[in-house]
Structures are given as C-alpha cells and as structure tokens.
Structure 1
Amino acid sequence: MAVIALGPPLLWLLCAGGAPSLSYRELKDLKKANVLHIDVRERWEIDKFGKIPASINIPLGELVEALQMDPTEFKEQYNQKMPAKSDPVVFSCLAGTRSKQALGFATSLGFSRVQQYAGGFEDWVKHEPPEKK
C-alpha cells in the first residue's frame, strides 16, 4: 500500500470535500442563533452588489491572517468579536468556490465548527434582496 504525503492544498481540499453545505433556510435559522457569518468576497464585490445581512466581510486573501489575529486587533479591524476555535462559523462567497477554500483554511487552523453556504450570494438573492452598504 502506498502512502501519499498530503501537502496543504490537497489537505484542505480533502477536509472541505465532505464539509457540510448549508441551504438558504439552514443559514437563516443559524443567523437567528447568532452564528458568525464571514463573506470572503472582495470588498469591491460587497460595495457593488451588497451583502447578506449580518455577515462580515473578510476577503479570502486576508482570512488566514485574520483568523490568527489578536482578538483586540480582530475586533478593531472587523468590528466583530474574534471567533473561538469552537465557535460556529459559516463562510460564504459568490457561488461556493472561495467559501470552500475558506472552510479548508479555517479547519487547518483548528476551527472545529465551520460550515459553508455553498449557494452563496447568488443563491441568497434568489430568496431575498441583499443589504446595501
């Protein structure tokens, strides 16, 4: 039997592969329970198209650094309490590609209760209008 060494990219793909993906309704219910919802789209996308209400924007390129910040710095930068590794966190993007990557990053950093809303912003706006900045 061959043993294959998994580098980080393959590892996060495998971690995210079986990851639970939320439906619109599940995300709506989770938001009532105060889950931290991180939208990993770029800032210009939020500015141009709006956002899912009660989500915070941390572009994918900043996510790994953000999830390792000092809690005070995180609060200052994102106006939100830093999530603990055991807190429920949901990632979304436009249509699921970047949120899947975010899920892998967070899992590799030790976050244990992370999920993605794979339908993302595209799916959300089919159900209700976005929040404008």
Structure 2
Amino acid sequence: MVLPRLPLGTAHGAVLGSVEAALCGLKSLKGSCHNFCTSVYEDVTYKELKNLLRSKSIKLIDVRETWEIHEHGKIPGSINVPLGEVGEALQMTPRDFKEKYNEVKPSKSDSLVFSCLAGVRSKKALDTAVSLGFNRSQHYAGGWKEWVSYEVSEKNMEI
C-alpha cells in the first residue's frame, strides 16, 4: 500500500506516517495477525485445496452467483452462497441456513475456504467472514478457472 507523502511538519503527514509504519509492521508479522488482518492471509493453492477437500477438514464456499454454478459447474463438495448473501448467511441460525442452502451451517470454529471464478469475490467473502469472527478462513485465489485447468491437466496425464 503506497500512501501519499506529505511534509512531515503537518498533522496529516504525522498521521499518515504513523499509519504507513503500522501497516508495514502488520505485513512483517505475516503469520501472527490472522485474527485481524486479512491482507496477510496465504492463498490456498490448488493442491492444498484438493488435499483439504479429500481430508474433509474444510467447508468450501463458492461465492459465485447461482447461474454461474449452473452454467459452468462447481468444485465438488462446495456450497454455493452468492457473495451478496455471505454476511447474512453466516449470521443465520443453523436451521435457516440448512433450509436455504441445503447444507450444515459452518460454525466459527470450522475451517472455511472461499472460492469464486478467479479470486476477487472470494477475497471479499473472506474479509466478511473474518469480520464476523470466522477466523479460520482462507480463500482459493485461483478459483473455478484454475481448478478446471488443473483438473483437465491431471486427467490428460492419466491417459
């Protein structure tokens, strides 16, 4: 993040300098600020996601629109909760969540991974989840596009 430089003699310069120093400090903490700083989260890779799904140790939430899922497909085992519904969905009662999404509602202690088409919406969903206390959350930045290309590559190598 690059902040504009103002003369250090001004109040604005002092405040911006402090903010910049704090942000640089957060980035240097990398692994220790997961509970309040999503900008330092590591992205889940294709191989990591595949292993996590195989081990059933995560809940994968696809935040694309429902029509996108119907038109293009989804990562097996994912739950479709469109981005615009993520905040509300994570605050629903377990019964309401089950009724609407036909899946068990994630708890704050569950490990969540968010995905979308290419990683932009999943990052927004991650920020929303963390702000609601779902601190064991990550996102799959490669999204559906990357998943499909790897799946095709793996199938071609089997042949």
TM class by smaller structure = 0.7 to 0.9
Deviation at 1:52, TM superposition (A): 0.7
Q: Distance in 2 between matches of 1:75 and 1:15?
A: 30
Name whichever structure is richer in helix by fraction: 2
1:98 is paired with a residue whose SS is helix
Consecutive unaligned residues in structure 1, runs of 5 or more:
5-13
The alignment-based identity, stated in percent, is 55
Report the structure number with the largest CA radius of gyration: 2
Matched, 1:71 2:94: yes
Aligned-pair distance for 1:16? 2.8
Does the aligned pair in 2 maintain the 1:41–1:94 contact within 8 Å? yes
2:90 partner amino acid: L
Counterpart for residue 42 of structure 1: 65
| Stretches (4+) displaced over 3 A | none
- 2:78 aligned residue (50, 55, 65): 55
Q: Secondary structure at the match of 1:128?
A: helix
Match of 1:25 in 2: 47
Match of 1:15 among 37, 40, 50: 37
The residue matched to 1:38 in structure 2 has which SS? strand
Deviation string 1:47-71 (CA, Å, 9 cap, x unpaired) is 1111111101000000100000001
- Alignment of 1:125 with 2:148, yes or no, is yes
Q: What's the C-alpha RMSD, in Å, of the aligned pairs?
A: 1.5
Question: With structure 1 as the length reference, what TM-score do the two structures score?
Answer: 0.85
Instruction: Give the secondary-structure state (helix, strand or coil) at the position aligned to 2:118.
Output: coil
TM-score (norm 2): 0.72
